[in-house]
């Protein structure tokens, strides 16, 4: 299906999947195909404090690997402010867990997460990482 061999991945089109192991494929529902060096995991963020502060807000996910800025050609501030670089994950007011954001990520990379237009200061949040998919 992916054309990348055994144990490869097909993942949805989020901007945070623009990483070296994954390639955008417009012809297949706009998915990203990741080779077998990638490990994709699901992370659920929930139970934030103060309660209700971020309820209904989308979560923004920004790839933030050191190698993006290593050669100095990308201005970090401009990169952060450019919203087209961010993946956007919708809030899910459903149970299990109640009021959460669930995202797939490629492990081994750094991501910057934010809520709201300028970021929101929160005190606590739970996260659940899926078991390793094999």
pLDDT per residue over 34-75, tens digit each?
A: 988 888 899 999 998 888 888 899 999 999 999 999 999 999
Q: How far apart, in whole angstroms, are the C-alpha atoms of residue 44 and residue 100?
A: 7
pLDDT(119) > 80: no
Instruction: Give the pLDDT score at 74.
Output: 94
Instruction: Give the pLDDT score at 79.
Output: 95
pLDDT(16) > 90: no
User: Which of residues 121 and 102 earns the better pLDDT score?
Assistant: 102
Token pair of 111 as six digits: 């991501």
Q: How far apart, in whole angstroms, are the C-alpha atoms of residue 73 and residue 107?
A: 25
Instruction: Give the pLDDT score at 134.
Output: 58
Residue in this structure with the two tokens 């990483």, named with its chain if needed = 19
Check: CB of residue 39 under 8 Å from CB of residue 104: no
User: Which of residues 24 and 116 earns the better pLDDT score?
Assistant: 24
pLDDT(133) > 70: no
User: Who's near 120: CB < 8 A, 6+ residues apart?
Assistant: 53, 54, 57, 114
Q: Between the CA of residue 45 and those of 16, 36, 51, 99, what are the distances in Å?
A: 16, 26, 13, 9
Record the pTM.
0.83
Q: Is residue 118 left, alpha or beta, with left meaning phi > 0 and alpha meaning psi from -120 to 50?
A: alpha
The mean per-residue pLDDT over the stretch 71-96 comes to: 91
Domain spans in the chain, listed from the N-terminal domain onward = 40-129
Across the chain, where does the E strand assignment appear?
Answer: 9-11, 22-25, 31-34, 40-49, 59-63, 87-89, 100-106, 111-115, 124-129
pLDDT(118) > 90: no
The mean per-residue pLDDT over the stretch 76-91 comes to: 93
């Amino acid at each position: 299906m992916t054309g990348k061999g055994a144990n490869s991945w097909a993942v949805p089109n989020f901007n945070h999947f623009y990483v070296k192991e994954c390639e955008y494929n417009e012809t297949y529902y706009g998915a990203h195909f990741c080779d077998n060096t990638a490990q994709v995991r699901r992370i659920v963020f929930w139970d934030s404090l103060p309660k209700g502060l971020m309820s209904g807000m989308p979560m923004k996910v920004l790839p933030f690997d050191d190698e993006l800025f290593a050669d100095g050609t990308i201005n970090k501030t401009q990169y952060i402010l450019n919203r087209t670089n961010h993946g956007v994950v919708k809030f899910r007011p459903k149970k299990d867990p109640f009021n959460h954001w669930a995202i797939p990520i490629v492990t081994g990379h750094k991501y910057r997460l934010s809520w709201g237009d300028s970021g929101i200061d929160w005190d606590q949040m739970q996260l659940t990482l899926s078991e390793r998919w094999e």
